[in-house]
Amino acid sequence: MQPDSAIYRARRERVLEQLGDGVMVIATAPEVARNRDTHYPYRHDSYFYWLTGFNEPEAVVVLVGGAAPRHILFCREKNEEREIWDGFRYGPAAAREVFAFDDTFAYDTLDAELPRLLENQPTLAYLIGRDMAWDTQVMGWLNTVRSKARSGVHAPNRMVDARIWLDEMRLVKDGHELALMRRAAEISTGAHRAAMRATRPGGHEYEIEAELLSAFRRGGAEAPAYTSIVASGANACVLHYVFNNRPLRDGDLLLIDAAAEFGSYAADITRTFPVNGRFSAAQKDAYELVLAAQAAAIDAVRPGNHWNSPHEAAVRVLTQGMVDLGLLQGEVDGLIESGGYSRFYMHRTGHWLGMDVHDAGEYKLQGEWRPLVPGMTLTVEPGLYIRPADDVPEAFWNIGIRIEDDVVVTGSGCEVLTTPPKTVAEIEAWMNL
């Protein structure tokens, strides 16, 4: 599928407006060896792709600001032999036309060309400190320029972390991005429905993972957005459980945290449901508490509220519910102030979502939680994780519940993008058709 080069060109022009006089250099991700002569499936760097729409390895985008701005791409040359083995390459000439660049160069000319592009520039912006090998390469280019000082050439004397601009731009999604995120959410919703329908006592967690992965690919997703969590019974109380190898037992809950990546944009969904299709009384009480906390948090996602508003809303509902269920003792305000609730709820209620599952963007500005504005996308994911203990009612032991949806801030509130069955009635009806 050909990229819409005008979208990426417009993004680069916005960056150049912020940069002013100077140069920005952003490399894509390297290929990573899995073992010996095989590699992990390639996935480009998100910053690079956001600026280019170009998904081949060994590529660098250079933006030159000032009175005569230039958009430059370094990429692999055409190579018939390597294309027989590895697949199609654009090459510099085609890439210039397809991706709307002013100039393109072969990737192996990077060390020769970059110092020339940096000569007499006041500012260099790149992703400082993210990759030590890349930092070393940048320092080499700067030293090459500095070696020409006697000829009247100077190197950039100001270094800027490119994330100060790119993170803010990526944080608020445009219509193109939201369309891709809606499709990722739609594919992921279908996968969760399939996983619920396939779950039954006697199976294994990995069988449900297989249902998810199959549904992702059938829906057209490139890959999972992250390693799928398929956690039954006590495993659901392990926040980042990924072994996915336990038998599914009658009477247990199954927590699935899994979603697809489509068009380089991620969804992120969690659902928790009974392996046998029917909630026990204790499971239902705990589940409906988390569901109420999520509803309160989603209601708090609206313009003018700050980032932490959904978390605060979820924590208050959860803490009151934990007191009501006998999991905690004390006054709700005191338990919130002391953090006593975190024994059973130890993570935040959401994170930014986009090209990365935990997407770019600061959560505070000048020490204060930032306000929500239309176009921001985030997850809302409260939970309860109840491990066995002498002071915990036995009916709640090993109940782990998380409910997570993806939302985009709108002009008046928010739009929920993800819609697998969520209420007790919906889940039980879907699983028992």
Tens digit of pLDDT for each residue in 14-57? 999 999 999 999 999 999 999 998 999 999 999 999 999 999 99
Length of the chain: 433
Q: Please identify which of the residues 252, 268, 356, 405 carries the catalytic annotation.
A: 268
**pLDDT tens digits along 272-299:** 999 999 999 999 999 999 999 999 999 9
Nearest to 292 by CA among 315, 273, 317, 312: 317
| Residue 149 DSSP one-character state | G
**pLDDT tens digits along 210-221:** 999 999 999 999
Q: What does pLDDT average to over the chain?
A: 97
Alpha carbon distance 283, 251 (integer Å): 10
**pLDDT tens digits along 89-131:** 999 999 999 999 999 999 999 999 999 999 999 999 999 999 9
Annotated active-site residue 402? The verdict is yes
Task: Give me 304's structure tokens.
Answer: 């003018």
Q: Please identify which of the residues 211, 381, 405, 406 carries the catalytic annotation.
A: 381
- The pLDDT of 82-88, averaged and rounded, is 96
Residue 3 has a pLDDT of 66
Buried b (16+ CB within 10 A) or exposed e, 361-386: beeeeeeeebebeebbbbbbbbbbbb
Alpha carbon distance 255, 428 (integer Å): 15
> Strand 123-126 to strand 23-27: parallel, antiparallel, or no bridges (unpaired)?
parallel
8 Å CB contact between 106 and 90: no
CA angle 393, 397, 399 (to 5 degrees): 125
Buried b (16+ CB within 10 A) or exposed e, 158-197: eebebbebbbebbbebeeebbebbbbbbbbbbbbbbbbbe
Residue 349 has pLDDT above 60, yes or no: yes
Widest distance between CA atoms in the chain: 81
Residue 1 has pLDDT above 60, yes or no: no
- The pLDDT of 334-357, averaged and rounded, is 98
SS3 state of residue 429 = helix
Annotated active-site residue 347? The verdict is yes
Alpha carbon distance 247, 206 (integer Å): 9
Q: Please identify which of the residues 34, 37, 80, 337 carries the catalytic annotation.
A: 37
Residues 6 or more apart whose CB falls under 8 angstroms from that of 38 comprise none
CB hemisphere CA count around 424 (13 angstroms)? 16
Residues 6 or more apart whose CB falls under 8 angstroms from that of 343 comprise 328
Residue 275 has a pLDDT of 98
Beta partners for residue 71, in sequence order: 63
- The pLDDT of 395-406, averaged and rounded, is 98
Residue 142 has pLDDT above 60, yes or no: yes
The DSSP element (H or E) to which 39 belongs, if any, is strand 38-39
**pLDDT tens digits along 150-202:** 999 999 999 999 999 999 999 999 999 999 999 999 999 999 999 999 999 99
8 Å CB contact between 38 and 57: no
- The pLDDT of 58-74, averaged and rounded, is 97
Annotated active-site residue 268? The verdict is yes
8 Å CB contact between 27 and 48: yes
Buried b (16+ CB within 10 A) or exposed e, 75-99: bbbeeeeeeeeeeebbbbeebbeeb
How many helices (H) and strands (E) are present in the chain, helices listed first? 13, 21
Beta partners for residue 253, in sequence order: 274
- Cβ of 323: how many Cβ atoms within 10 Å? 17
Q: Please identify which of the residues 249, 347, 348, 387 carries the catalytic annotation.
A: 347
% of the chain at pLDDT higher than 90: 99
Q: Please identify which of the residues 358, 363, 368, 415 carries the catalytic annotation.
A: 358
**pLDDT tens digits along 120-133:** 999 999 999 999 99
Annotated active-site residue 381? The verdict is yes
Q: Please identify which of the residues 177, 257, 359, 406 carries the catalytic annotation.
A: 257
Q: Please identify which of the residues 44, 71, 385, 406 carries the catalytic annotation.
A: 385
Residue 250 has a pLDDT of 98
Annotated active-site residue 385? The verdict is yes
Q: Please identify which of the residues 150, 240, 337, 390 carries the catalytic annotation.
A: 240
- The pLDDT of 309-329, averaged and rounded, is 98
Annotated active-site residue 176? The verdict is no
- The pLDDT of 201-209, averaged and rounded, is 98
SS3 state of residue 3 = coil
Residue 201 has a pLDDT of 98
% of the chain at pLDDT higher than 70: 99
pTM above 0.95, yes or no: yes
Alpha carbon distance 320, 336 (integer Å): 10
Alpha carbon distance 157, 337 (integer Å): 47
